[in-house]
Amino acid sequence: MAQWPLLSVLIWLPIAGAILVLALGRDPRVARWLSVLVALATLAASIPLYLGYDAPAGGMQFIESHAWIDALKVHYALAADGISVALIVLTTFTSVLVIIGSWGPIDKRVSQYMAAMLALEGMLIGVFAATDALLFYVFFEAMLIPMFIIIGIWGGPRRVYATLKFFIYTFLGSIFMLIGLIYLHMKTGEFSLQAFAQAPLGPSEQAWLFFAFLIAFAIKVPMWPVHTWLPDAHVEAPTGGSVILAAIMLKVGGYGFIRFSLPITPDASQEYAWVVIAMSLVAVVYIGYVALVQDDMKKLIAYSSIAHMAFVTLGLFIALALVRVHGNPDAARLGVQGAMVQMISHGFVSGAMFSCIGVLYDRLHSRMIRDYGGVVNVMPWFGAFFVLFAMANCGLPGTSGFVGEFMVILAAFQDNFWIAAVAAFTLIIGAAYTLWLVKRVIFGEVTNPKVAKFEDLDAREWIVLGSFAAAVLAVGVYPKPLTDLMDSSVLQIVNALMLSKA
């Protein structure tokens, strides 16, 4: 197993599969089956990655490195630590469900849609596995293309506006990152992330790099106030696009903070941590209230995503203060670990919520809350799933949604009571917007005669929602395997934070 370039397999298998699906998938049934097989094969390939990763030892494993562009010392360099492994498995798991979930709703250009999804999966894995900054950047940008296509072709009526907003926003952000990377290349003569992390950088250099990275990743996460592309993109995206976007693409932003901002510019990160923390706290409260008043289910969940992702940035940057100001690496580990668990959990929960909305949309072709009501009368199983995922969205203990938020709040408290108090406000506002949604959509009498004709979940929908439910409950009841997987890697990140570069 060690001889296999496992990470390369994980990246290129779905991309090769995408080409195959394009070539052979003239018949939609062939395209569907073939793409599921490819996604399942990729999922299967990620199992030895999970099992083979030596978590107690930690650090980068499954290392691959080949010279790519000699003149610039660019390498095709891949490796994975516990954090990467967790995110890669999340990607392979979610991709299977997205592809199964798209079987019914997507009926035009099936092979192209499936191919785009598979290519996107490969690129996302590439982002999480790249240890060469330029390679990372290539995947980081390239993944925009399939997403652009997915929204632009299979999206809703305002898809052109949404795709352009999405593309320009995120592309704009990554330009700043590119400049930063080029600068770091000039400085070190390499593109290896490790070299970047070890490069001595003065305070003002770090500050400029920090903000360059911040813009790139803050847009990706997205953080308040650069979040407005997300609700529009979600509203127009087809269900599968929304699921991938919320469950995985947003994680690229959080991952970027871990791989770039924290190790490369630790001192600037510390100095400007308050900016990120303030933006995160604003997101929890402000976005929570905005989510409350949405009429469109997808927008509501999109805003809820922003508020939940704020816990990721909060956890990561609170760790700096804990390590450096309070000398409390234990709490810092809790913060970073909480951020990571929140990323994985949000992948499951938001994926599940968007899948649920997709189930409703397929039946009524409306995302408006007011068109529904009393769904549980005709779809009891769906109602049960929806309430479960809603509770996970509220962070109920026993579901994955609780674990990360709990850790981050515990860590934040050790830095500052008031930061923890504002973050904990999510308990109230999160419950308010989620349960109000449940009340209006799921409970009550059926008022819309079309809703009265709804059929409960079919087998395909059962597989998707059931798998998400199993994941949500597994992480909620027993998060230790997940935290153990990432613990050594988190420790290394926290240790690195202690070292000043200036």
* 415-434 binders of other proteins (CB under 8 A): 417-418, 420-421, 424-425, 427-429, 431-432
Q: Two tokens at 368? A: 């408006």
Q: Please list, in sequence order, all residues whose beta carbon lies within 8 angstroms of the beta carbon of residue 327, skipping any fewer than 6 positions away.
A: none
Q: How far is the CB of 130 from other proteins (least distance, A)?
A: 22
Q: Examine residue 413 and tell whether it contacts other proteins (CB under 8 A).
A: yes
Task: Give whichever of 52 and 444 is closer to other proteins, judged by the CB atom.
Answer: 444
Q: Considering only the stretches 13-21, 64-72, 240-248, 473-481, report the one whose residues sit in contact with other proteins under the rule CB under 8 A.
A: 473-481
Task: Give whichever of 217 and 286 is closer to other proteins, judged by the CB atom.
Answer: 286
Task: Give whichever of 78 and 209 is closer to other proteins, judged by the CB atom.
Answer: 209
Q: State CA 455 to chain mean position distance.
A: 31
List the x/- string, 136-165, binding to other proteins by CB under 8 A: ------------------------x---xx
Q: How far is the CB of 497 from other proteins (least distance, A)?
A: 14
Question: Which ranges of 69-158 does DSSP label H, i.e. alpha helix?
Answer: 82-101, 110-129, 133-142, 144-154
Q: Two tokens at 108? A: 């035009």
Q: Two tokens at 402? A: 């609780």
* Binder of other proteins out of 484, 495, 499, 502 (CB under 8 A): 484
Q: DSSP labels for 482-500?
A: HHHHHHHHHHHHHHHHHS-
* Binder of other proteins out of 29, 158, 370, 439 (CB under 8 A): 439
* Binder of other proteins out of 68, 76, 171, 462 (CB under 8 A): 171
Under rule CB under 8 A, which residues in 376-395 are in contact with other proteins?
A: 376-377, 387, 391, 394
- Does residue 235 contact residue 296 with C-beta atoms inside 8 Å? yes
Q: Examine residue 474 and tell whether it contacts other proteins (CB under 8 A).
A: no
Q: Two tokens at 373? A: 């009501």
* Binder of other proteins out of 17, 155, 487, 497 (CB under 8 A): 487
Residues constituting the chain = 502
List the x/- string, 270-299, binding to other proteins by CB under 8 A: ----------------x--xxxxxx-----
CA gap 86, 88 in Å, rounded = 6
* Binder of other proteins out of 142, 398, 466, 492 (CB under 8 A): 398
Task: Give whichever of 67 and 428 is closer to other proteins, judged by the CB atom.
Answer: 428
Report the sign of the C-alpha dihedral through residues 52, 55, 57, 59, in that order.
positive
Q: How far is the CB of 499 from other proteins (least distance, A)?
A: 18
Q: Is 436 helix (H, G, I), strand (E, B) or coil?
A: helix
User: Residues of 244-253 as b/e, b for ≥16 C-beta within 10 angstroms?
Assistant: bbbbbbbbbb
φ/ψ (deg, to 5) at 201: -135, 135
CA gap 264, 32 in Å, rounded = 43
Residue 339: CB atoms within 10 Å: 28
Under rule CB under 8 A, which residues in 332-371 are in contact with other proteins?
A: 333-334, 337
Task: Give whichever of 245 and 336 is closer to other proteins, judged by the CB atom.
Answer: 336
Q: Is 192 helix (H, G, I), strand (E, B) or coil?
A: strand
Q: Examine residue 33 and tell whether it contacts other proteins (CB under 8 A).
A: no
